[in-house]
A and B are shown apart, each in its own frame.
Chain A
Amino acid sequence: MQRYIEGRSQPFSWFLYILPALLVYLVFLAYPLFSSMLASFMTGNHAQIQTFVGFDNYVRLFTEEELSTRYFSAFRNTVIFFAIHMLVQNVLGMLFANLLQNKHLKGRKFYQTIIFIPATLAIIVTGYLWKLILNPQWGAFNLVLKALGSEHANFPWLGTPGVSLVVISLVSSWQWVGIPTMFFISALGNIPDELYEAAAISGASPWQVFTNIKLPLIMPTVGVVSTLTFVNNFNAFDVVFAMENVNGAPDYSTDILGTFFYRTGIAGQHPIGIPDRGMGAAVATVTFVVLIIGVALIRHITVKQDEA
């Protein structure tokens, strides 16, 4: 009897606890997502004459030459953008974390702070800052090159197809490197000291300690960091917007999914500025699907390795 009464009241009480979060989630996440997906099946620019067109926007996105060329070029650039982040940001993060983990390191707090500070700045600020530093006429970077007598003084870092995307990815990696560092430091901190002691007794080299003890044990964190990097990079927009404007100059070589979406769905093409909301929603929905698949893949890889 007692159990029955408790059981009766419980369903309501747990529901009450999640109700606020659920409401916020439904209103600010689920509903916009749903309405955006709905919009991707519509055409027309304003409330009055939106018409249902089925999968037309998707078909056009992938078959109409102007759109599909831009879309796939943006997609390729996003993949490169992501690859550079994975390589530079996370490898550096791992390196920094291993160095900073050493509690006897002098000025450890200081290094930790410098590494993390860029992540606290607005990307628009760092974007403009680096744009100034890299300016071929008065930028600090090229002035230094000039002082060193380099032939590449006045090199247009942000105006050369093939170079600009790498430069922007590096700037963005520089900004965010503090996040994986922080994650890895806390993961490394959770590894029990006995394991290190055992390794020391068996005479393992630092590299052996890293590959056989540290890496396997922080693999779940590597998975989380990879997922975060992936989601952030496929949603990236601001760093390219700040440094290369909405077209992804030069010659669309830095045009990523975020800027492509902004151009099609929100701002419209300069100077006409008439956005195609349905097409924008279709681009966003495709990105959403790509994100789901990607996150599932990353989880699959890292979780599997974790179990092995």
Chain B
Amino acid sequence: MKKRCLAFLLLLSLVTVGVFASGDQESADSGKEKVVLRMGSWRMDDVAQMEAVLAEFTKTHPGIEILFQPTNPPDYNATLRLQLESGTGPDIMYARSYATGIQLFEDGYLSDLTSLPGLDTTYSEGNRAPWMTKDGKNFAIPFTAVSHGVFYNKDIFKELGLSIPESWSDFLSVCKKIKAAGYIPVANSLGDEWDINEVVFMNLAPNFIGGREGRLAYDEGKTPFNDKKVVALFQAMASLAPYLPEGFEALTYNDSNALFATGQAAMYFDGSWTLGTFSDVDFDWGVFAPPAPDGQKVHYICFHPDAGMAINSSTKYPEEAKIFLEWLGSPEGAQVLAENLPMGMFPMSNIAVEIEDLHAKEFLSLNEGRQLDVRWAWPELLGGDPSGYNLMMEGSIGVVTGRITPKQAADNLQEGLAKWYPPAQKW
């Protein structure tokens, strides 16, 4: 009993010491002239890069120091919400695009940045849209975007005498040749579910539905979600099945990545954020734009807004936070970002910057001569039950495993959305 008492007292003293210690530190910080801002983020992988960016900022703004405090990615939404609810949220934070970010703004946790100087000149309207409410209020500045494409093993392509496929039927014949040579044509798999949707379906979608304009036709109710373009898109998904690795139903995103990295698979649909993982493989690789339906003249790339930067509406230092956001949008800040951001995370301002990594440059150059649009489900179809995201994911998995036909997948999408999404109810 005595021992237990002692242990309890010890624990109690440790806790109280901890509390007082942190209290002391806080008062010491605010006592100085230097303002310390905390920045929330879901990018645990980018600590070194972001700290470099923030150090550059402090060099020119000695009065402001920013601490980068990221959370484990899957926990970010829930953690941030809890922090904001309890009043311990960060001063500046990464903001998710579309519904998730808008929800936080509408709940009153994010500052209105509509009048931030330079906002409308530094960022195009298309880039600002993901962090803008329906009535045109901006709650975050565009920060980084990711692009989508197809990674390919140049050595295998050279060995088999293949060239980059432009159209979908070219792509399938390339797949056929690769399979005949004993390699896995496409590394993607279904085990993690989200990846087949985000890196394959959403990657192909802009080409099949006609980019932004095409997407708006669906999202605004001018076209039903099960028209022949959507059927063709699901048909394309289904046609991948024979070219995926054996046992693809149970392989995960990491397995797919490894199949490509070990040279067993010749091609891999994925996003630019993966660039860094192939930096020391022992073969030559590159990226090409997703193949378009046969005969289509205009080609599209899925270029997706990933992170915005927002300010906590109850921060003690709104002025300092705004200074930082303005700096991010200045030519100087944009260049610092381009130099320090992790590979495959692209800055979103209009200021032209030089990207050094060759593969990242190659990825970004795919945008030239092609039109861009975001991932289809994000702008309008995420809310509601069943969400457009889930319907597209279930449809993709259904057609790849042959459980449903492309027509059924498209019909499910239309019927599911019609349950809650007014524009889909017109059909």
A-B interaction:
yes
**B residues near A160, Cβ cutoff 8 Å:** 249-250
A-binding segment of B170-178, B185-193, B349-357 = B185-193
Interface flags for A53-80 (1: CB within 8 Å of B; 0: not) read 0000000000011110000000000000
Does A237 have its Cβ within 8 Å of any Cβ on chain B? no
B125 is an interface residue with CB less than 8 A from chain A: no
* Across-interface contacts of A294 in B (CB, < 8 A): none
Q: Which of B143-151, B363-371, B384-392 lines the interface with chain A?
A: B384-392
Given A66-B386, A275-B78, verify A270-B194 contact (CB < 8 Å). Answer: yes
Asked if A18 CB lies within 8 Å of chain B CBs, one says no
Given A45-B81, A268-B77, A273-B78, A156 contacting B247 (CB threshold 8 A) = yes
Given A251-B394, A272-B387, A275-B78, A137 and B247 contact (CB-CB distance below 8 Å): yes
Is residue B245 within 8 Å, beta carbon to beta carbon, of the partner chain? Answer: yes
- Measured in the bound complex, the distance between the Cα atoms of B420 and A64 in whole Å is 12
A137 to B249, CA, bound (A): 11
In the complex, the answer to whether B385 meets A273 with C-beta atoms within 8 Å is no
Chain A facing B: main interface SS = loop
Q: Is the CB of A251 within 8 A of B248?
A: no
Which B residues lie within 8 Å of A251 (CB)?
Answer: 394, 397-398, 403
Q: Are B387 and A158 in contact (CB under 8 A)?
A: no
- Count how many chain B residues have C-beta atoms less than 8 Å from C-beta atoms of the other chain: 38
B339-353 CB mask vs A (1 if < 8 Å, else 0) is 000000000000000
B85 at the interface (CB under 8 A from A): yes
Knowing A269-B390, A271-B389, say if A46 contacts B247 (CB, 8 Å): no
Q: Which of B99-107, B161-169, B214-222 contacts A (4 or more CB under 8 A)?
A: B99-107
Chain B residues with CB under 8 A of A137? 245-247, 251, 255, 259
Find residues 355-410 in chain B having any chain A CB closer than 8 Å to their own CB: 382-383, 385-387, 389-390, 394, 397-398, 401, 403
Q: Name the residue on A nearest B194 (C-beta).
A: A270
> Please, how many residues of chain A have a CB less than 8 angstroms from a CB on the other chain?
36
Min CB distance B196 to A, Å, is: 11
Residue of A nearest to B256 (CB): A137
On chain A, the residues within 8 Å of B398 by CB distance are: 251
User: Please, which residues of chain A bring their CB within 8 A of the CB of B385?
Assistant: 64, 66-67
Task: Report whether A46 and B107 are in contact in the complex, using a CB–CB cutoff of 8 Å.
Answer: yes
**Would you call B74 an interface residue if the criterion is a C-beta within 8 Å of the partner chain's C-beta atoms?**
yes
Question: Which chain A residues border B382 with CB–CB below 8 Å?
Answer: 271-272
Task: Kindly state whether residue A266 has any CB partner on chain B within 8 Å.
Answer: yes
Report which of B78, B107, B190 forms a contact with A268, defined as CB distance below 8 A: B78
Stretch from A9-17, A184-192, A193-201, A242-250 forming part of the interface with B: A242-250
**Among residues 41 to 58 in chain B, which have CB atoms less than 8 Å away from a CB atom of chain A?**
none
Which A residues touch B198, using CB under 8 A? Answer: 271
- Whether A273 pairs with B77 at a CB distance below 8 angstroms is yes
Contacts of B251 in A (CB 8 A): 135-137, 156, 159
Q: Which residues of B contact A266 (CB under 8 A)?
A: 78
Measured CB to CB, the closest approach of chain A to B363, in angstroms, equals: 22
Interface string of B257-285 (1 = CB under 8 A from A): 00100000000000000000000000000
Residue from B103, B193, B247, B383 within 8 A of A245 (CB atoms): B193
Picked from B99, B247, B255, the residue with its CB within 8 Å of the CB of A142 is: B247
Contacts of B81 in A (CB 8 A): 45-46
**Residues A159 and B191 in contact, CB atoms below 8 Å apart:** yes
The 8 A CB mask of A262-279 against B (1 = contact, 0 = none) is: 000011111111110000
Asked whether, in the complex, the Cβ of B249 is within 8 Å of the Cβ of A135, the reply is no
Give the distance to chain B from A237, nearest Cβ to Cβ, in Å.
Answer: 15
Q: Report the separation of the CA atoms of residues A135 and B245 in the bound assembly, to the nearest whole angstrom.
A: 12
For chain A, residues 224 to 248, give those with C-beta under 8 angstroms from any C-beta of chain B.
245, 247
CB B133 to nearest CB in A, in angstroms, measures 16
Q: Can you offer 12 A-B residue contacts whose CB atoms are under 8 A? A: A66-B419, A137-B247, A137-B251, A137-B255, A157-B250, A159-B250, A250-B190, A251-B394, A267-B78, A271-B198, A272-B389, A274-B77
Besides A154-B246, A271-B389, 17 other CB < 8 A contacts? A45-B107, A47-B85, A48-B85, A48-B107, A66-B386, A137-B255, A142-B247, A155-B247, A156-B250, A158-B250, A159-B191, A245-B192, A251-B394, A267-B74, A270-B389, A271-B194, A273-B96
